[in-house]
């Protein structure tokens, strides 16, 4: 199926959040909240059209990465969520069987959420299927005794509804001046059937500034780096900025620090900036014997420009000789100093290639690394 309509409510001003711009346009990990909310639907093979309900005074929407997407269309919302969604349905082609509704300020939706909701509404033969999470904390009604939390659950979006059933239900609520917190409420108010499937607690809605800090624990940007260099006879090599005395040296245009090169590539990759060669060409004489810590410092400056920081790094050194374990702590300390992060955020391992290939013949060394970035 590739004929799902999606309606995203983005006309709110986020008064509880405060700030100079609506919360859906706050940047998290280099993307606005609404960009993260919309992207899974743009990428979904099940979705053919996305209607985004915006405020008439919206000055930020043209700056979003999905603005020119063929799937996306914009309509003006209303004073409430229900009128915004209803306006979108009135604008939409009525041939759609199902419509998914979602909050612009809920950026952790996944493709699994979309497919699971679609499967559930078909299987349950309901008018609406929604995501929920159990209540784990105690609940008290104001000025009354504690309630039985097992009788409650928390409702999330996205939700999926039969198009015509939702349209009729929302009109009934609007005509009777009933405030709908979400679409499942409108369906229930119209005495139509709902069903539910368990969602994820990480699928949070941004409401207050503290939610951004919480969200950062789930949203990271990952990058992979790899570098390999041949050996030749020499008096030592540099790994992670630390000099190891041995009978080899690395053949390279720069100082040949494969560990820093791999980490730098993973940082640039996670940032969407390319690779080392784009900024430090091995054809440029200025980079001859270059201290690789200069490359990493350049990468850190780029992260700062993007308001990103390193969350953690994991690296594996692959070689037969020298044995890395005796130098591991010294390399970690050097990495910590260069990367400006504590050692407990750096994973450093070493292995051999089991005598296989150029590394197994002790003619080369390689490093593979993974970095996770997040917003500052």
Same-domain pairing of 228 and 135: no
State whether residue 262 is helix, strand or coil. helix
Structural domains of the chain, count: 2
The CA-based angle 366-369-339, given to 5 degrees, is: 110
DSSP 30-78: TEEHHHHHHHHHHH-TTEEEEEEEE-TT--SGGGSTTTT-TTEEEEE--
Query: What distance in Å separates the CA atoms of residue 333 and residue 343, rounded to the nearest whole number?
Result: 7
Q: What is the pLDDT of residues 237-285, one digit of tens each?
A: 999 999 999 988 898 888 889 999 999 999 999 998 999 989 998 888 8
Same-domain pairing of 130 and 226: no
**pLDDT score at 123:** 97
Where a domain ends, among 189, 215, 241? Answer: 215
Contact 100, 7 (CB under 8 A): yes
Query: What distance in Å separates the CA atoms of residue 205 and residue 113, rounded to the nearest whole number?
Result: 15
Same-domain pairing of 79 and 188: yes
Same-domain pairing of 187 and 227: no
The model's pTM is 0.67
**pLDDT score at 33:** 92
Same-domain pairing of 276 and 331: yes
Same-domain pairing of 185 and 230: no
Same-domain pairing of 59 and 172: yes
Contact 188, 175 (CB under 8 A): no
Where a domain ends, among 215, 237, 254? Answer: 215
Q: What is the pLDDT of residues 341-359, one digit of tens each?
A: 999 999 999 999 999 999 9
Structural domain span for residue 264: 221-375
Same-domain pairing of 172 and 24: yes
Same-domain pairing of 256 and 277: yes
Q: What is the pLDDT of residues 128-153, one digit of tens each?
A: 999 999 998 888 887 777 888 888 99
Same-domain pairing of 23 and 155: yes
Q: What is the pLDDT of residues 77-116, one digit of tens each?
A: 999 999 999 999 999 998 999 999 999 999 989 999 999 9
State whether residue 316 is helix, strand or coil. strand
């Amino acid at each position: 199926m590739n004929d799902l309509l999606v309606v995203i409510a983005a006309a709110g001003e986020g008064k509880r959040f405060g700030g100079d711009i609506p919360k859906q346009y706050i940047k998290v990990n280099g993307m606005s909240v609404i960009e993260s909310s919309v992207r899974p639907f743009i990428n979904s093979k099940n979705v053919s059209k996305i209607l985004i309900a915006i405020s008439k005074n919206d000055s930020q929407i043209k700056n979003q990465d999905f603005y020119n997407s063929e799937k996306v269309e914009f309509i003006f919302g209303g004073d409430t969520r229900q009128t915004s969604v209803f306006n979108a349905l009135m604008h939409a082609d009525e041939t759609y069987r199902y419509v998914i509704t979602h909050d612009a300020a809920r950026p952790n939706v996944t493709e699994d959420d979309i497919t699971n909701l679609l499967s559930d509404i078909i299987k349950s033969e309901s008018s609406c299927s929604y995501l929920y999470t159990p209540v784990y904390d105690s609940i008290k009604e104001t000025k009354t005794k504690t309630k039985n939390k097992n009788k409650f659950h928390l409702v999330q979006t996205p939700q999926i509804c039969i198009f015509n059933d939702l349209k009729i239900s929302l009109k009934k609520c609007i005509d009777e001046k009933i405030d709908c917190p979400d679409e499942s409420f409108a369906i229930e108010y119209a005495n139509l059937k709902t069903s539910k499937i368990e969602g994820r607690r990480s699928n949070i809605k941004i409401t207050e500034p503290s939610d951004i800090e919480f969200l950062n624990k789930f949203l990271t940007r990952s990058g992979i780096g790899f570098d390999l260099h041949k050996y030749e006879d020499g008096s030592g090599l540099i790994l992670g900025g630390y000099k190891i005395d041995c009978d080899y040296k690395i053949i390279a245009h720069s100082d040949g620090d494969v560990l820093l090169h791999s980490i730098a590539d993973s940082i640039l990759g996670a940032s969407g900036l390319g690779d080392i060669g784009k900024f430090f060409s091995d054809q440029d004489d200025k980079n001859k014997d270059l201290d690789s810590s200069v490359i990493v410092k350049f990468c850190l400056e780029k992260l700062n420009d993007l308001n990103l920081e390193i969350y953690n790094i994991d690296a594996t050194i692959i070689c037969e000789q020298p044995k890395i374990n005796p130098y591991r702590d010294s390399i970690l300390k050097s990495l910590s100093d260069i990367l400006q992060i504590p050692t407990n955020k750096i994973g450093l391992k070493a292995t051999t290639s089991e005598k296989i290939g150029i590394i197994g013949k002790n003619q080369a060394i390689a490093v593979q690394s993974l970095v996770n970035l997040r917003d500052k």
